Amino acid sequence: MQQTLSQPSPGSLLLLPILYVVWSDTLISDQELTALRRFLKEIDWLSDADRNYLKEKLSPQSPPDREELESWWQTIKGAVQENKTYPDLSSIGMDLLSKDAPEEAHTFPLEKVKSELATLEKQLGIVGKSAALIFKSEHHNISTSYQTQQGFDVGKLTSILDGNRKPLIDELKAFIATKEFDYVQPDDLEKYRNQVLNWCKILADEGYGAIGFPEAYGGKDDMEGYFTVMETLSYRDLSMVIKFGVQFGLWGMSILSLGTKRHHDRYLSSIGKLELPGCFAMTETNHGSNVKGIETTAVYDHEARTFTIHTPHINARKEYIGNAAMHGRMATVFAKLIIGGKDYGVSTFVVPLRDQQGNILPGIDIEDCGRKMGLNGVDNGLISFNQVVIPKENMLDRFSSVDEHGKFQSSIAGDNKRFFTMLGTLVGGRIGIPRSANAASKTGLTIAVRYGDKRRQFGPEGGEEIPILNYRMHQRRLIPLLAKTYACHFALEYVTARFLGRKEEEMQEIEALAAGMKAYVTWHNTATLQECREACGGKGYLSENRIDALKNDTDIYTTFEGDNTVLLQLVAKSRLSAYKEQFENMNIFTIINYVAAKTKTSITEKNPLIIRNTDEQHLLDPDFHLSAFEYRESSILDSAAKRLKRLMDEGMDPFDAVNVSQHHLLTLGEAFIERVVLEKFQEKITSESDPEIKKVLKKLCDLFALYQMEQHKGWYLEQGYMEGVKTKAIRKMVNQLCWEIRKDAVPLVNAFNIPDSCLSAPIAM
């Protein structure tokens, strides 16, 4: 193996590029061998020396080693003219001959050589034009040279994302970027939970906890600020976010929304300062989604002016209650109000759980939920009440109360209406959670995109390894998710604004928007973090890079504040009844009313010119995108309505009819929200003036729209709204947009402006 390399003879120089290509592929196949040997035998312009050299080099038993291949490579490269286009490998062989053996070159019948070598190349199946490229320096391949550009002002885009809350966001980011908020190991549950409580106290001391409370109670009456804080905190530890949300959002806001001045005066200030940690005890083991079915009772005793709170059986315990296992001293408890043996439906009561020293009070039994998939800094627990007596004034009496004669009173007639109105006050949680989820997606994408830009693996023959974000599949994995995260950001901005400026008559619509966004954004978040984990390979599995915590902490977001599957059904029902219904109502009857009206309306006609239009201009036209989304939404609405009516006309039980149509209803809920998301993204772009930012946002929006259409192409084709040529053109455009946006990907995640100490992941630095 150590012999000096024999030099190629002049004639074999002509075949050297072919020889290199054949051998660089490791194995020589029988087919290739046969073709080459026949060639050597038949060709008359090869000398014996050529023939011997070539025969020797074609032995499968002694293939050229890497040193010899390298020397061939250098020899060939030395003869290649960088600016020349070679149609095949033999043309390179010709140049090689003229350069390395100029004297002998004229002795060959060049025309004949050329034609016979061309035949050989064809037999070997070599696409010469392409293969010839590998001998050029840098290979001139686009996959290697592609890289990040700075196409827009990152700071400006950050300002657009932050909007008018930029001062608060910047201030809070600087605050949580300090050492004090450094991540801790989640190993020791107790330590972690106390650390999280401590973080919340620091935040409360700075006034962030009470920000949404009235000024009279130490707050700033700034509900938008509260959402902004929830979102911004989400760049740090997510247990802290949820503990914060339990204390100030669920516990505090339930006092604010369901109680009256008496309760506000008594509790709000100390809640805002986290001097009075509390719980929101709604869910029971047997009743999560179906809150109406809870079984805890609050029996009124008029003589004593008290309520007795009681848990009738083990599966009626309050479960998953944040702040319960360790820190909560009181709880807002949802229970059925019983007066004189009569059930007045669900009301809420403040029930003390622990004394000032943290000892659990008599009649209260608390069990720790123990370790969870994530959010282990939150002390969730199970609470049961054994005939716990509380004074009358502990009833949160904004919507219902017991008067001095012991009679039930309510400003809202109808148990159901009262119940749903009460639930409606809690809709804020369905805005805070998706905003937190989207922040988690931004963190995950910042880590994965930056890593993809730096991490190199594989590369062209003889060239250097390329950044994995230059791989088309890697782009397809991450860049549509980046586009959707931007889309969700602007849609969440819109839903927040609608919520803040809400009027009574818009409530059903706003509840549907919030619930739909909650489902849409949290599922997107789960998918995004899963993809980020995989896209970062082994590095993504290491806790130091934080994707595991992000994924595990937010995994429950698709369940709490309303299970996504249930929420999308409610959104669909809300759409079917044209927002006429109380949002949470699972009843079916009034859908029928809408169905009767709706089946008369018709939807957008299909345009035969559109269904096969594959012009780039058309494919990138926002009006095309929006009308395709609207068509999907209205068609599914119409077909779901017709289907329900048909099933019920046929005499199917209404509950069965809804069940049979459940998949259809979920698709309807999703199609509705997706249209809103696109619409709001487009509106944002229209209003943007900076041309560079407008351009990159337009690309993201186009990608969002086309990628979703690609996901739904089965449906569009089924409907005849598009033909195969068009869906194929869309796929191609998605690939193209991913490729184009890849250059902007790093600046686009940098625009999220997440502090390094919050990101913390070594692979993102």
Per CB under 8 A, the list member of 404, 651, 687, 691 interacting with a copy of itself is 651
Least distance from a copy of itself to the Cβ atom of residue 114, Å: 19
What lies within 8 Å, CB to CB, of 56 at 6+ separation is 6
Task: Select from 567, 590, 583 the least CA-distant residue to 666.
Answer: 567
Task: Select from 198, 740, 733 the least CA-distant residue to 469.
Answer: 740
| Residue 62 found at the interface with a copy of itself (CB under 8 A) | yes
CB 629, CB 712: distance < 8 Å: no
Q: What are phi and psi of 396, to 5 degrees?
A: -80, 110
Task: Select from 522, 540, 538 the least CA-distant residue to 485.
Answer: 522
What's the gap between Cα 661 and its chain centre? Answer: 27
DSSP class of 85: P
- Over the window 257 to 296, marking each residue x when it contacts a copy of itself by CB under 8 A and - when it does not, the resulting string is --------------------------x--xxxxx--x---
| Residue 595 found at the interface with a copy of itself (CB under 8 A) | yes
Count other C-beta atoms under 10 Å from residue 454's C-beta: 15
| Residue 603 found at the interface with a copy of itself (CB under 8 A) | no
Per CB under 8 A, the list member of 472, 606, 612, 642 interacting with a copy of itself is 472
Helix (H) or strand (E) holding 511: helix 507-535
| Residue 662 found at the interface with a copy of itself (CB under 8 A) | yes
Of the pair 272, 288, the CB lying nearest a copy of itself is at: 288
Least distance from a copy of itself to the Cβ atom of residue 23, Å: 8
| Residue 129 found at the interface with a copy of itself (CB under 8 A) | yes
- Burial track 415-431 (b if 16+ CB lie within 10 A, e otherwise): beebbbbbbbebbbbbb
Least distance from a copy of itself to the Cβ atom of residue 225, Å: 30
What lies within 8 Å, CB to CB, of 288 at 6+ separation is 319, 563
CB 69, CB 29: distance < 8 Å: no
Of the pair 253, 647, the CB lying nearest a copy of itself is at: 647
Per CB under 8 A, the list member of 12, 53, 72, 139 interacting with a copy of itself is 139
DSSP class of 706: H
| Residue 320 found at the interface with a copy of itself (CB under 8 A) | yes
Q: Which residue has the tokens 């407008």?
A: 694
Per CB under 8 A, the list member of 109, 163, 358, 370 interacting with a copy of itself is 370
523-582: which residues touch a copy of itself (CB under 8 A)?
A: 526, 530, 533-534, 537-538, 540-544, 547-548, 551-552, 555-556, 558-560, 563-565, 580-582
Q: Which residue has the tokens 């702040």?
A: 323
Least distance from a copy of itself to the Cβ atom of residue 690, Å: 32
| Residue 143 found at the interface with a copy of itself (CB under 8 A) | yes
# residues contacting a copy of itself (CB under 8 A)? 145
User: How is residue 245 written in tokens?
Assistant: 């949300």
Of the pair 79, 588, the CB lying nearest a copy of itself is at: 588
Least distance from a copy of itself to the Cβ atom of residue 364, Å: 21
Least distance from a copy of itself to the Cβ atom of residue 687, Å: 34
Q: Where are the alpha helices (DSSP H) in 545-686?
A: 547-554, 564-576, 589-598, 616-619, 622-649, 654-660, 662-686
303 catalytic? Reply is no
178-217: which residues touch a copy of itself (CB under 8 A)?
A: 185, 187-189
CB 624, CB 614: distance < 8 Å: no
Least distance from a copy of itself to the Cβ atom of residue 650, Å: 8
Which residue stretch of 128-136, 160-168, 174-182, 479-487 sits at the interface with a copy of itself (rule: CB under 8 A)? Answer: 128-136
Catalytic-labelled residue, pool 561, 670, 674, 679: 561
| Residue 480 found at the interface with a copy of itself (CB under 8 A) | no
User: How is residue 414 written in tokens?
Assistant: 């109808």
What lies within 8 Å, CB to CB, of 582 at 6+ separation is 416, 417, 420, 421, 424, 508
Q: How far is CA 510 from CA 345, 459, 515, in A?
A: 25, 51, 8
Which residue stretch of 226-234, 268-276, 513-521, 588-596 sits at the interface with a copy of itself (rule: CB under 8 A)? Answer: 588-596
What positions carry a catalytic annotation? 561
